Every structure is written in C-alpha cells, then in structure tokens.
Structure 1
Amino acid sequence: MSGVVDLAAVKAAGEAKVKAEQARAEAARQGGGGAVPPSSLVIDVDEAGFERDVLQRSAEVPVVIDFWAEWCEPCKQLSPLLERLTQEYGGRFVLAKIDVDANQMLMQQFGVQGIPAVFAVVAGQALPLFQGAAPEAQIRATLDQLIQVAEERFGLTGVAVDAEGAEGAGAEADAAPAAVPVGPYDALLEAAVQALDAGDFGGAVQAYKNVLSDDPGNTEAKLGLAQAELLARVQDMDPAKVRQDAAENQSDVRAQIAAADLELVGGHVEDAFGRLVDTVRRTAGEDRDAARVRLLELFEVVGPDDPRVTAARSALARVLF
C-alpha cells in the first residue's frame, strides 16, 4: 500500500509497544487519566486529518477504517453495524469513517477497488480486513482477531472509556490499564528501538541478540531482530540497480532475494512474498533453499498473524509439496 506502509512501518511493532507502555505508565502516574467519551470512538476522517486521527492514533489503539459513500446501499447496512460494535467493544478499537467521494487520494493509497471496504491501521501498518457487507458473526470474528494481534504483537490494549454517572465511573476504574511492570529485558529492547531510530541497525541487531541469548523465546526480540536485519541489508542498496538486476536476471536467486527485501521495506508485502514463492518454484537445491529461508525470514518481519503471511505460507506449501 504505497504511501501508507513505508520504511517506518517495518519497525513499528517495537516502537508502538514501547510508546503504549509509556503512555499507560504516564496515565497511571497522573491518577489513571486519559479516558475518552464514547462519542470519540467513532470519527469522520479526511485527508487533512488522516495522519493525526489515524496514523498517530494507531500507536495507541487499533483504528478500523470504514470506506463508504452516501450513494452506496451496502454501506448503509454495514456502517451502522460497525458503529454499534465500536461502542460495544468499549475502547478496544476506534472507528474512522472515510467518505471516498471526498477523499479520493486515501482511497487510492489503500488500493480500494469497491465499497464498502474495511481496513485496519495498527502501529502505522495497514491491514485489509474485508470488503462488502459481511455477516455480523464474521465481522465480530475479524475484530476479535485484530484486537488479539494488536495486543500480542504491539502491546495495544485499547483506550479507557469515560461512561456517564457513578456506574460509568466504576466501569472506567475497572477498565483503566494498570501501570506496566518493568521486565528484565526492557532496557535492552528500548536500546534496540533507539538504535533503529538512529539508523544504527548493527547496534539494534546486537541488542536483540543479547536478549535472545538469555531468552530465546522472546517474541518482541525475535520480531525486532528480523526487522533490524532486513533494514541492515537494504540500507546500502541502489534501488534502481536492484530492480534492474532482478528484471534482467530471473534465474539469479541472489538478485531476486535482494529485490524481495527492497519490496518489503517499501511496503509491497505481497510482491515480495510472490517473488520469492516464484523463485522457490523455479529453482532447486541450494538456490531453492536460500529463497525459502529468506521468505521465512520475511514472514517474521511482517508477523505470523498477518493474513498476507498466511496466504504466502499456503502458496509456498503448494510449490514445495
């Protein structure tokens, strides 16, 4: 999704988790403030406010985007359902409504081919959810999965909602997130994120490896290491030459791998996965294994719960077996 998913989004998981933890800790120090009124959970968004209302907010809470238009009859069925579910989920996500007639550029950036179309943005990363007026049970299942991924991968647990009255005050107290305890590897993980921000990819790689040497199953460190290694590989690439080499040398596995790395960093996730699946299909022996291993590494960068990873895994299985 050119223009939405970019280089910064590749490392967004670690950054978003740190920012979310800092925001929760700050709210706890200030007495648990930061609750929002229910009316703020559903917002109208235009191109001018997209960065503030969607991209920046997605570092705190998943943002579900409803692309709609006044003339769209299925939209008139889906939009009220999404608004009702947004209130029912009580701050686990917010709903951004985008009128495609008034915001053609956003429609093009997300690659929307028809409406209604529903996407999510989590920590700056755009994810397609579904298109059309889907059944409520399917929508609920999709939202549940989105919330789970946002919490497990990005540490986003939603926002506290300020309900009216004494009963609402009690519910707010129950929903307010507690202060986040400091884990044994938080300092190293924070150092790795700072190294990524500074462009010190080698330092970030080492910091993540230091965590994994003591805790091999640390999910955040594994994700961060995959991202840092990818950024380190592409930082000195000449994009034009990489693309030319890949186009002119279809049988050169190294050229195809380099092009796939560049595509992923540029946000062209499906293109990167498709290129490597095709390379696995066309090769054998060590070349096939090199393409397969790199594809698995890129799966780690994007995350196992991403639907594009699921689709690419199935495609890989078909060419292997």
Structure 2
Amino acid sequence: MTQQPFMGRGAIDLSALKRPAPQQAPGAPSAEGGGGMAGAAGSSYAVAVDDQNFQSVLQASTTAPVVLVFHSPSQAPDSSQMAEDVADLVGQYDGRFLAGLIDVDASPQIAQVIAQASQMPQLPVPLLMVFLDGRPAIQPIPGLVSREELSTLFNQLGQQLTAQGITGRHQPLAGGPAEDDADEEPGPDPRYAPAEDALAAGDIDLAVGEFQKLVDANPADAEAAAGLAMAKILQRTQGVDLNQARAAAAAAPDDVDAQIMVADLDLLGGHVEDAFARLVELVRRTSDKDRDRAREHLVSLFAAVGNEDPRVLKGRQALASALF
C-alpha cells in the first residue's frame, strides 16, 4: 500500500471555542458583520477568522484544503503582510484553497486550541497550516514565508491534489471581487476534468491516458505534465508494499528498478528530498544504460514536484554534480 502525501495527526477539538449561530450556514455572511465567511483582503477565497466562525472555516476543509495563517500585528508586524500574500495567492487557484486569516491578538483562544492540539508549548507567529477533512494535511510551517515560496507551495499542493484525485473546490465567499460580475466567476478548468474524475474513481490507467492527451496537445502545460508524472508514479506503485520494496532496495543497492521503486514511494509519502538523494547516488554509482535510466527517472520526478520548487533546484544541482 502506498503512502499518501497528505498526512494529519487528527481532528482539532473545537469544544473550547464558541459555536456559530445555529441558523448560520457555513459560508454565509453574518448579518452583524462578524462571525461570517465574507471575503477578506479583497479575495473571494479568504476570510478573517474569529472564535465564532473558526469551526465553520475548518469544516470547509471537507470540500477542499483550508490554509490557516496565524499573524500578529503587535508581535510580528511582517506577518500581516504574509497573511495578505496568502489571501491574494489563493485567489489565483479558482477555489482549490480557502485562506483563513487569524489575528492572534484579537483571537488568542484559537491560538491556544491549535497549540494544544499540535502539542506546542506556544504557537509561533507567523504560522501557516493546511487542513484537509478537518485535519492537518502537512507539517505546520513556522516563520515568515516569502510570496515566491508561498506560490511554490501552493503549486506543489495543487499538483498533489490533482494526482490524488482530490477535485473539490470552494465556492467564492460573499464580499469578494468574484461577486461583482457573476458571469465572469472562474470555475474549474474543464480540460483537467476527465483526468481528475479518473483519479477520483481510482482508475489510474485512464488518468494517465487523459493526462497524456493534454501533454501531447500542449507540451508547455506544466500542470498537465505534473499531473501525468504523478499519475505515472501512482500507476507504478499500485499494490506495492513499502517495507518489501525497501528491503529489496537495501539488498541490491545497484538494482535500478528496486531503487526507482523506493524513490517513487518516498515521493508519494512526502519524502521528496530522500527520493531525489537516492536517485542522485544511483546515478553516481552506475554507468551506461543504468545511469541513463536513473537520470531520466529522476528528471521525471522533478517534473512531478514542479520545476520551481526549491528542492528540485537543489536536486538538479546535485544531479549535475553526480554527472560531471
């Protein structure tokens, strides 16, 4: 059984927080202007979070990922700019993400609940967390993150969502610019629908074929290329036992097939740098056709992760060093 790239520790206990008003549906704006889900920072996919609407924001992660940004104008003024960057960037993904902006000065109780659930003595600020199905989807990211790094993160998460068949999207929130002209409201790109539907149905072979059509039609389509690369990894690793694969690779360190299989499983499990390092070392040890296979496969993993990812840039440098 393959590992999944999204991993969480468990649902967050919200019992210490206020419940939203019973008549207020998730996503509906509050009549009093607070506790609702109106767009924040000029984005249709961002919301200012407080004690009253936190539960409904977290509940929205059952549809698609929710990105929480904890910031503090008093403790870390630059963190508020990071929150604004996240709000702006998620708007470019047509509902794949919802940003929840939490001012810990105004809502310290939320920070306490998250710190306790994450087993942290104190919540660092700023802090970025991604939730899916009410659970942390990736390890929390503390400290300031540049706009460029945030963009890379969202691109990578978007690729993983596509590869895993997670196709849900948030609806634009009240008060955001998408409501100014409903006719121009962005929606899911229909080109990817057949491949995403195939992944959601567990038909990996069909998904590979659909992504291949997109790449053949437009080789410059980076999202389609990444989707194809990830779908092929899923195809190769179907039904593979991770422990057995690791044992086989350890017993035959120069067996290209065995090393490639573990690298694929590592990448799916979120151990991207380990996957790259394994194949870089394989390139370093092998020669001729074996070396070419290891190199070509590593390049395909670069495509799956995304060429703008800092880990890919480091991986390319390591590959160049191993080759020359």
Question: TM-score, structure 1 length as denominator?
Answer: 0.61
Alignment of 1:164-313 (within 5 A): 173=180, 177-180=184-187, 186=191, 189-313=192-316
Cα offset, 1:241, TM superposition: 0.8
Q: How does 1:51-200 map to 2 (within 5 A)?
A: 52=59, 56-58=63-65, 63=67, 65-66=69-70, 76-83=76-83, 94-95=99-100, 97=102, 99=111, 102-103=114-115, 106=118, 115-116=124-125, 118-119=127-128, 121=130, 132=143, 134=144, 139-143=146-150, 159=172, 162=175, 173=180, 177-180=184-187, 186=191, 189-200=192-203
Matched, 1:42 2:51: no
Q: Deviations over 1:100-149 (max 9, x none)?
A: 785356479xxxxx9446446499997789754x5xxx735545666788
Which amino acid letter does the alignment assign opposite residue 5 of structure 1? F
Cα–Cα, structure 1 residues 249 and 85, in superposed 2: closer, same or farther, change >3 Å? closer
Q: Distance in 1 between matches of 2:226 and 2:90?
A: 29
**1:171 and 1:205 mapped to 2: Cα distance?**
33
Q: Return the letter of the residue paired with 1:311.
A: K
The one-letter amino acid paired with 1:320 is L
- Residue 99 of structure 2 aligns with an amino acid whose one-letter code is V
Q: Which residue of 2 aligns with 1:23?
A: none
**Do the aligned partners of residues 91 and 211 (structure 1) sit closer, same or farther apart at CA in structure 2, a change above 3 Å counting?**
closer
Higher helix share: 1
Q: Residues 143-186 of structure 1, C-alpha deviation per residue, up to 9 Å, x if partnerless?
A: 566678889998999956617xxxxxx89527995355976xx2
Query: Aligned partners of 1:216 and 1:84: how far apart in 2?
Result: 34
1:160·1:176 contact (CA, 8 Å) conserved in 2?
Answer: no
Q: Which runs of 5+ in 2 are unaligned?
A: 8-35, 93-97, 103-109
Q: Secondary structure at the match of 1:305?
A: coil
Give secondary structure in 2 for the equivalent of 1:41: strand
Judge which range, 290-299 or 310-319, deviates more. 310-319
2 CA distance for matches of 1:122 and 1:312? Answer: 28
Counterpart Cα distance in 2 of 1:316 and 1:118: 33
SS in 2 for 1:216: coil
Looking at structure 2, the residues matched to 87 and 273 of structure 1 have their Cα atoms a distance apart, in angstroms, of 32
Q: CA deviation at 1:238?
A: 2.0
Task: Please tell me whether the aligned partners of residues 40 and 47 of structure 2 are also in contact (alpha carbons under 8 angstroms).
Answer: yes
Question: Aligned pair in 2 of structure 1 residues 96, 311: CA closer, same or farther (>3 Å)?
Answer: farther
Q: Cα gap change, 1:104/1:201 in structure 2, threshold over 3 Å: closer, same or farther?
A: same
* Per-residue deviation, 1:194: 1.8
Within 5 A, what are the aligned runs for 1:8-23? none
Distance 1:277 1:181, change over 3 A: closer
- The change in CA–CA distance for 1:182 and 1:285 in structure 2 (over 3 A counts) is closer
The alignment partner of 2:308 has SS state of coil
- Pairwise CA RMSD of aligned residues? 4.8
Count of aligned pairs between the two proteins: 266
CA distance in 1, matches of 2:37, 2:184: 10
Q: Normalised by the size of structure 2, how large is the TM-score? A: 0.61
1:231 is displaced (CA, Å) by 0.7
Q: Is the 8 A contact 1:129 1:142 kept in 2?
A: no
Q: Distance in 2 between matches of 1:285 and 1:3?
A: 34
In structure 1, distance between residues paired with 2:184 and 2:243: 47
1:38 counterpart SS class:
coil
Supply the AA of the counterpart residue of 1:63.
Answer: V
Letter of the aligned partner of 2:240 in structure 1? M
Shift in alpha-carbon separation, 1:54–1:271, aligned structure 2, 3 A: farther
Amino acid of the residue matched to residue 278 of structure 1?
E
Distance 1:232 1:90 in 2: 30
Gapped regions of structure 1 (runs ≥ 5): 7-33, 109-113, 164-169
